[in-house]
């Protein structure tokens, strides 16, 4: 089902050896770990979604948000259409090369902390659109937290992916943030 | 003197506590849960502490923690001072307005006369309108200072809509003022002791006009074109993140409570229970002695007032989750061509009836 991939491997590797700021002083003391636990608890139950819906998976997304499967149960119901207010970027559907800069821009505009949810096989790997027009997986553009393949994924898979993301958020540390802007936009400069 | 000071501070603490500590957070939950129930969903219920879920109430806490630890963002090219100021301007008026709304009558307790209103102004209603219109500045400032086209459009829409509906709202109240011949909200409340003297029976049209205009003033659906997602992203608060963005919502929620308070005071008998006068309550509570009876009556009256407020909060939430959004021209047409003439006719007929009587 949903595959949980460590986010932004580059940053993890960077921060593994050297801990910065307050963690250098206090280390993994109770004070910091409990703060992390509380903040992560708040964050994992309060995702404001940014639905970046480009294709047919949108129908399945509506079904997940709708009465029968009800994402609101997990605290992830509120769609915010301004990226400034959103936490979770739901990339729902095929991303063409023409669409890619917009996706990267939206990702960069989101305020930290932010997570990315790859919804459907097209967003995950390009799917059967193995051609010149389609981005072969959005992780070539932006860091992705949860991949949910399927064409389209069943609502159960999406909920499973969301729960995996909650588990992952629960393990995060304060120093994991900020993530910064997408690597693609840095290379471009 | 000291007793009065203590009394005033206690009243301010009470109103502030009820509004900021109870209504604002709870309304976030109510909005979520009521929309869920109306759409045949379950609604938020997974956040737990040690396995206790408390019917989803903990999601408020989760949201608060998330929002407080989110990045605070000021866009490049924005006016940082005004960008920060705007949420405060739109939050404060809703809170200040509650100062003149009486949440109970006058009681004699231990020889001290208690008047359950923070500021018993002679021009109570004018004070409310003066401060309610200040909220417009918050939205316009937010729209302008964000340096964003969508925000600016939202701010412009908000200012146009709020100015238009302010006219009709002011006129819809004139009828009530004429009937009770007072601008003082405590007097208007006291005059509604008898059930059939309630504002809703004397001014039914005024009530509907006021409710419509008040919801439009509050910029909630079906009048939420200033933040219409399908047209202008998130309207005037597009560029706001974290707590500043939530402050706009808190202002909205507070305004719901304030509108309910004004409606209750003007049209639904303020703190009075239908067919049960305060004298009857005092005689029922006679066993507790004169002071005890007064205190118990006071508590019953405060409870009545807040039950009525909760009912009108429910009504506004139901309207918000039932009706689709108006188009911009429809809003303007409704405000200027329907509500305003209706309010004027209402004043005319009220005047005629008062003259003949």
ipTM metric: 0.79
Question: Is A2 a residue whose pLDDT tops 50?
Answer: no
Confidence of residue A34 (pLDDT cuts 50, 70, 90): confident
Cβ proximity of A46 and A85 under 8 Å: no
Confidence of residue A25 (pLDDT cuts 50, 70, 90): low
| Beta carbons of A42 and B70 less than 8 Å apart | no
- Distance from the Cα of A69 to chain B's closest Cα (Å) equals 8
* Out of A44, A67, A111, closest to residue B241 by CB: A111
* The pLDDT value given to residue A7: 41
| Beta carbons of B32 and A38 less than 8 Å apart | no
Chain B residue with CA closest to A73: the answer is: B44
* The pLDDT value given to residue A23: 62
- Distance from the Cα of A30 to chain B's closest Cα (Å) equals 18
Question: Is A19 a residue whose pLDDT tops 70?
Answer: no
Residues in B touching A173 (Cβ below 8 Å):
none
CA distance A145 to A9: 11
A45 touches chain B (CB under 8 A): yes
Q: Calculate the alpha carbon distances from B298 to A155, B4, B271 in Å.
A: 53, 17, 9
- Distance from the Cα of B211 to chain A's closest Cα (Å) equals 27
B64 touches chain A (CB under 8 A): yes
In this complex, how many residue pairs, one in chain A and one in chain B, have their CB atoms less than 8 Å apart? 97
**Cross-strand bridge partners of residue B106:** B115
| Beta carbons of B65 and A81 less than 8 Å apart | no
Long-range contacts of A127-134 (CB under 8 A, 24+ apart): A127/A94, A127/A151, A129/A94, A133/A96, A133/A97, A133/A98, A134/A94, A134/A95, A134/A96, A134/A97
* The pLDDT value given to residue B199: 82
Is residue B42 classed exposed, middle or buried when 0-12, 13-18 and 19+ CB atoms within 10 A define those classes?
middle
Cβ proximity of B69 and A39 under 8 Å: yes
Cβ proximity of A147 and A134 under 8 Å: no
* The pLDDT value given to residue A10: 45
**For chain B, what's the residue count?**
357
**Cross-strand bridge partners of residue A116:** A89
Question: Is B291 a residue whose pLDDT tops 80?
Answer: no
What SS3 class is residue A148? strand
pLDDT digits (tens, 9 = 90+) for B75-100: 888 888 888 888 888 888 888 888 88
Chain A residue with CA closest to B229: the answer is: A81
| Beta carbons of B240 and A84 less than 8 Å apart | yes
Packing angle of the helix pair B80-97, B124-145 (nearest 10 deg): 160
| Beta carbons of A75 and B62 less than 8 Å apart | yes
The predicted model scores a pTM of 0.84
Query: Which residue did the predictor score with more confidence, B41 or A18?
Result: B41
A43 touches chain B (CB under 8 A): yes
- Distance from the Cα of B215 to chain A's closest Cα (Å) equals 22
A98 touches chain B (CB under 8 A): no
Confidence of residue A17 (pLDDT cuts 50, 70, 90): very low
| Beta carbons of B69 and A39 less than 8 Å apart | yes
In order, the DSSP letters of B65-97 are HHHHTSPP---TTS-HHHHHHHHHHHHHHHHHH
Give Cα B238 distance to the centre of its chain. 24
- Percent of chain A scoring above 90 in pLDDT: 5
Q: Calculate the alpha carbon distances from A42 to A36, A118, B57, B129, B354 in Å.
A: 10, 22, 13, 38, 58
Question: Is A3 a residue whose pLDDT tops 60?
Answer: no
B58 touches chain A (CB under 8 A): yes
- Give the number of C-alpha atoms closer than 13 A to the C-alpha of residue B107, restricted to the C-beta side: 27
| Tokens representing residue B280 in the block | 């009857």
pLDDT digits (tens, 9 = 90+) for B146-202: 888 888 888 888 888 888 888 888 888 888 888 888 888 888 888 888 888 888 888
CA distance B351 to B81: 48
Nearest to B105, CA basis, from B186, B9, B18: B186
Residues in B touching A75 (Cβ below 8 Å):
44, 46-47, 59, 62-63
**Spatial CB neighbours of B163, under 8 Å, sequence gap ≥ 6:** B136
Question: Which residue of B48, B59, B321 is the best one to mutate when testing the A interface, meaning the one whose CB has the most A CBs within 10 A?
Answer: B59
* Out of A39, A73, A178, closest to residue B44 by CB: A73
Chain A residue with CA closest to B55: the answer is: A73
Strands A146-148 and A115-119, by their bridges, are parallel
pLDDT digits (tens, 9 = 90+) for A49-85: 898 888 888 888 888 888 888 888 888 878 888 888 8
Residues in B touching A77 (Cβ below 8 Å):
32, 44
B57 touches chain A (CB under 8 A): no
pLDDT digits (tens, 9 = 90+) for B8-65: 888 888 888 888 888 888 888 888 888 888 888 888 888 778 777 778 788 888 888 8
pLDDT digits (tens, 9 = 90+) for B312-334: 999 999 998 898 888 888 888 88
* Out of A67, A70, A80, closest to residue B234 by CB: A80
């Amino acid at each position: 089902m949903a595959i949980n991939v460590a986010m932004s491997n580059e940053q993890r590797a960077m921060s593994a050896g050297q801990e910065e700021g307050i963690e250098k002083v206090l280390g993994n003391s109770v004070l910091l770990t409990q703060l992390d636990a509380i903040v992560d608890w708040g964050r994992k139950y309060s995702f404001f979604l940014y639905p970046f819906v480009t294709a047919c998976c949108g129908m399945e997304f509506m079904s997940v948000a709708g009465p029968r499967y009800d994402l609101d149960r997990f605290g992830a119901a509120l769609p915010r259409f301004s990226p400034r207010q959103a936490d979770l970027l739901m990339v729902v559907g095929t991303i063409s090369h023409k669409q890619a800069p917009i996706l990267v821009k939206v990702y960069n505009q989101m305020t930290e902390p932010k997570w990315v949810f790859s919804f459907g096989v097209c967003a995950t790997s390009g799917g059967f659109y193995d051609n010149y027009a389609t981005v072969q997986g959005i992780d070539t553009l932006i860091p992705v937290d949860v991949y949910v393949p399927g064409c389209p994924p069943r609502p159960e898979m999406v909920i499973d992916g969301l729960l995996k993301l909650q588990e992952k958020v629960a393990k995060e540390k304060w120093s994991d943030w900020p993530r910064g802007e997408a690597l693609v936009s840095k290379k471009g400069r | 003197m000291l007793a009065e000071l203590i009394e005033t501070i206690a009243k301010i603490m009470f109103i502030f506590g009820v509004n900021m500590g109870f209504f604002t957070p709870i309304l976030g939950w109510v909005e979520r849960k009521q929309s869920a129930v109306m759409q045949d969903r379950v609604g938020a219920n997974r956040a737990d502490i040690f396995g206790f879920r408390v019917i989803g109430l903990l999601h408020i806490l989760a949201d608060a923690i998330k929002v407080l630890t989110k990045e605070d963002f000021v866009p490049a090219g924005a006016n940082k001072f005004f960008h920060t100021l705007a949420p405060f301007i739109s939050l404060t008026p809703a809170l200040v307005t509650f100062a003149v709304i009486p949440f109970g009558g006058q009681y004699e307790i231990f020889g001290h006369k208690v008047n359950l209103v923070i500021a018993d102004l002679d021009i109570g209603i004018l004070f409310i309108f003066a401060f309610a219109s200040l909220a417009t500045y918050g939205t316009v400032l937010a729209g302008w200072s964000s340096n964003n086209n969508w925000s600016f459009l939202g701010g412009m829409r908000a200012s146009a809509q709020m100015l238009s509906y302010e006219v009709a709202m002011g006129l819809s109240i004139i009828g009530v003022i004429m009937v009770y011949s007072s601008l003082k909200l405590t007097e208007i409340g006291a005059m509604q002791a008898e059930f059939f003297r309630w504002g809703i029976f004397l001014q039914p049209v005024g009530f509907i006009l006021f409710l419509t205009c008040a919801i439009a003033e509050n910029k909630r659906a079906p009048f939420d074109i200033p933040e219409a997602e399908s047209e202008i992203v998130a309207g005037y608060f597009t560029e706001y993140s974290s707590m500043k963005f939530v402050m706009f919502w808190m202002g909205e929620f507070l305004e719901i409570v304030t509108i309910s308070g004004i409606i209750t005071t003007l049209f639904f008998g303020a703190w009075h229970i239908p067919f049960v006068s305060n004298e009857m309550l005092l005689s029922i509570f006679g066993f507790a002695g004169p002071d005890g009876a007064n205190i118990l009556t006071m508590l019953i009256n405060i409870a009545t007032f807040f039950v009525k407020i909760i009912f009108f909060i429910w009504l506004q939430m139901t309207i918000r989750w039932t009706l689709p959004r108006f188009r911009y021209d429809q809003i303007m047409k409704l405000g200027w061509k329907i509500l305003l003439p209706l309010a004027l006719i209402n004043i005319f007929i009220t005047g005629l009836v008062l003259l003949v009587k």
